[in-house]
Amino acid sequence: MADEAGTPGGTEGTVRVDSWIWSVRLTKTRSQAAAACRAGHVRVNGERVKPAHALKAGDQVRLFHAGRERIVTVSRIIRKRVGAPAAVQCYVDHSPPPPPRELTAPMGVRDRGTGRPTKRERRDMDRLHGRGA
């Protein structure tokens, strides 16, 4: 019996890494997966890869997306997006647990009606977020 990939058992063949990342729901869209590959946020077996890199069963994929690193081992190749319960069966997750919500820095909220931040306030916000000089 063939699976969603059209191969018996789902372990034969290869698939594009951006397509697989999207298929197993590590990113919301395929274009986000391709952009992550182009930006160097995806590594397969320790090497940065392009979106069209061929992925096969047994490969280790590291993806840095949405402020979190995901480390997964490919256990099954699929080419089409499937439901969440089926997607979880296609990889083994070795990711570190996300930090608790209490430990994450709260985002600054401006009072309603205060308008745009001044140049000084904007520089302070950039300094707080670690951007700029």
Distance CA(12)–CA(79), nearest Å, equals 12
CA of 38: how far to CAs of 23, 53, 99, 100, in Å?
18, 11, 27, 30
pTM greater than the 0.95 cutoff: no
Residues 32-45 have pLDDT tens digits of 999 999 999 999 99
pLDDT at site 72: 97
- What is the DSSP secondary-structure string of 44-73? ETTEE--TT-EE-TT-EEEEEETTEEEEEE
The answer to whether the beta carbons of residues 55 and 14 sit under 8 Å apart is yes
Residues 37-86 have pLDDT tens digits of 999 999 999 999 999 999 999 999 999 998 889 999 999 999 999 999 99
Lowest mean pLDDT among 22-36, 45-59, 90-104: 90-104
